[in-house]
Amino acid sequence: MAVDLTTGSYDKSGVFNKHNEAPKSTPKKSMEDNMVCLKNFQIIKVLKECLSTKSIVVEGRFAEDDKPAIIVIEKTPFDKRDISQLFTSDSRLELKFWNNIYGNYHVYPQTGFNGISVQVIHPATESDFLKFVEVPLVMINETKDLYESIVLPYFKVISEKSQDCTKNSSDEDKTLYKDSGESNSFVLLKDDLDKCLCTNTHFRAKAVVSQKDILSLRCLSAADIPFLIKLQKKCLEELSTKYEVPVSKIESYVPYPPTSFPLHVFFETVEKDSLIPVEKAHSLTTVISNLQLIPDYYQRITLTYSLPESDPLLKSINEHKTD
């Protein structure tokens, strides 16, 4: 006969509690639980701040964890459906100044109105940190000689690598229109930005030419004018119909230096919150006009643009200058 030697006592409800039972361990909080509470985050330094987007990026560590973390903090845009919540007695006003008919206030609305977006990257890798490092820019005056000796060979190498990486990929889900030209054709692809805080009607698309040897703006000549006119006309028509936006509100441009190959022509609504540097965006209409005036215009002129100090192309250009 087995004898239970467990000691204990009964509580008021009649439940027996063992005296020698091992105490239940408190479950350890997971890293996800730790991150939910921002008070467990210790800031090490500010990586980047931007007044235009009302955002700031900080590096730090969570309590009881030595892995680096990045937190992106950004004020969210207003939602016009909830804007009436601002005009209630719950909103506290602090007068900054008053001048005749103009009043300036700081308003502290009720909790939950126009919150703050927080993106957590943990553990953050070196490539994650590089995204938020502000690299100084350098202006480049690309002459005909510089293009032919350094930039064009560089484009060819990058183009071959990018074609190897994308030959097995498919953009069928992004395709808006396919041109079936005999000598040269193009495909129009949806290219919306991952994060855009501009108008609800904003969109961006890109037309990618099929002719692999047209790497950039520099490769265009008067012989390409009919193709460029057709591309612009058809893409504007397709986008205007699909997004119900007048053609007059869509801009078309060719970026230089290019970031992808072969030639890409971008189409985007004129109302947007981020602007491409003026020296890097060449209006397609202006490109066509220049080629009508001078057939080899883009083979002859000097193109000016900026490059980050860490850009591999800038390294090649600097090596050429020292030779």
Burial class (CB in 10 A: 0-12, 13-18, 19+), 205: buried
Per-residue pLDDT at 169 exceeds 90: no
Please compute the mean of the pLDDT values over residues 258-282 and round it to a whole number. Answer: 85
For the chain, give the percent of residues with pLDDT over 70: 80
Per-residue pLDDT at 52 exceeds 70: yes
What is the C-alpha separation between 145 and 213, in angstroms, rounded? 19
165, two tokens: 């990486």
Could you tell me the strand order of the sheet in which 281-283 lies? 175-178, 186-190, 204-209, 264-269, 250-255, 281-283
Cα torsion angle, 32, 38, 39, 42, sign: positive
Q: What is the pLDDT of residue 5?
A: 45
Q: What count of other Cβ atoms lies within 10 Å of the Cβ of residue 232?
A: 19
Average pLDDT, the chain: 84
Per-residue pLDDT at 278 exceeds 90: no
Q: Which residue has the tokens 């000689």?
A: 145
28, two tokens: 């350890």
Per-residue pLDDT at 3 exceeds 50: no
- What's this model's pTM, rounded to 2 decimal places? 0.73
What is the C-alpha separation between 312 and 12, in angstroms, rounded? 77
What is the C-alpha separation between 208 and 239, in angstroms, rounded? 15
Q: What is the 3-state secondary structure (H, E, C) of 52-108?
A: CCCEEEEEEEECCCCCCEEEEEEECCCCCCCHHHHCCCCCEEEEEEEECCEEEEEEE
Please compute the mean of the pLDDT values over residues 167-194 and round it to a whole number. Answer: 79
pLDDT band at 253 (very low <50, low <70, confident <90, very high): very high
Terminal Cα-to-Cα distance of the chain (whole angstroms): 97
Q: What count of other Cβ atoms lies within 10 Å of the Cβ of residue 30?
A: 9
